[in-house]
Amino acid sequence: MKKLFELNPTLDRETLARRFAETGRLQVRDVLTNESARELATVLGRATPWGMATGAGDEKRKSFRMEEVRSTEGAKRVNEAAMEAQQMSARGEYGFRFAHYPIVAAIQEGWDPGGAHEVLLEHLNAPEFMGFVRDLTGIDALVKADGQATLYAPNHYLGRHIDSHVAEGWEVAYVLNFAPPDWHPDWGGYLLFLDEDGDVVEGFKPRFNALNLFKVPQVHLVSYVPPFAPIGRFAVTGWLRTV
């Protein structure tokens, strides 16, 4: 567990900070040591009880635990929620569907005391990582990180939105990626940034051991993962906050 989260000591923070300052977004490749990246990928791939997150507009967000997803009645509710999200998206409105494990809620409700996900969140809030993201973003007021584990499997997506929860202290979104190194562009799951006309101005490929950072609000989405894609677009995602 000691090597669950260890930053790569060779990263050039000054160069990375200049890149972030240009557009308010950045992908940091090889952000962790190889040993830590492999350990975290194992936790996500083999030791995470995946539930499901769906959303049909901002007001209809739902979270289902793994036990519910696997039950007959629970699976029915998940499918109904996913269909509602799909119908919302078909109208050009905000919708999403992806597998997740809500780390903060799991800690607050005592799902797995002392488990790997709890240790991970402690590392994300430790001085080493918080100092790192302050250096890269130039935002000294960042004080904490929340987080959830996410898995975009076939038919999953995150619709276009802006994350405009500034009043809640959201300053910078992060995505700590652990997709397979051979992730193919045809498999989707890209983090895409759009301009006012809906054109893609930048996109980050799902990678192994890469950290995406972007200042909010920015219009973005996670592109649809098609039915033929493999299961493997794992990540830890959340917001770096000032309160």
Query: What is the DSSP secondary-structure string of 8-33?
Result: -TT--HHHHHHHHHHHSEEEEET-B-
CATH number for 42? 2.60.120.620
Nearest to 98 by CA among 213, 189, 176, 204: 189
169 lies in some domain: yes
pLDDT for residue 2: 54
Is the pLDDT score of 169 beyond 90? Answer: no
60 lies in some domain: no
Within 10 Å of residue 13's Cβ, how many Cβ atoms? Answer: 12
66 lies in some domain: no
pLDDT (tens digit per residue) in 43-88: 999 999 999 999 998 778 999 999 999 999 999 999 999 999 999 9
Q: What is the maximal distance between C-alpha atoms in the chain?
A: 52
116 lies in some domain: yes
- Distance CA(218)–CA(224), nearest Å, equals 19
Nearest to 239 by CA among 143, 191, 174: 174
* The pair of three-digit structure tokens given for residue 50, joined into one six-digit string: 């995946």
115 lies in some domain: yes
pLDDT for residue 70: 96
157 lies in some domain: yes
Is the pLDDT score of 134 beyond 80? Answer: yes
- Distance CA(5)–CA(154), nearest Å, equals 28
56 lies in some domain: no
pLDDT for residue 168: 73
Q: What are phi and psi of 10, to 5 degrees?
A: -95, 0
pLDDT (tens digit per residue) in 88-122: 999 999 999 999 999 999 999 999 999 999 999 99
Torsion over CA: 14, 15, 20, 23 (sign): positive
Per-residue confidence band for 164, with pLDDT thresholds at 50, 70 and 90: low
Per-residue confidence band for 1, with pLDDT thresholds at 50, 70 and 90: very low
Q: Answer whether 54's CB lies under 8 Å from 85's CB.
A: yes
Domain of 153? 13-49+99-241
* Angle (CA) 142 145 150, round 5°: 140
122 lies in some domain: yes
- For 93, which DSSP code? S
Domains: count for the chain: 1
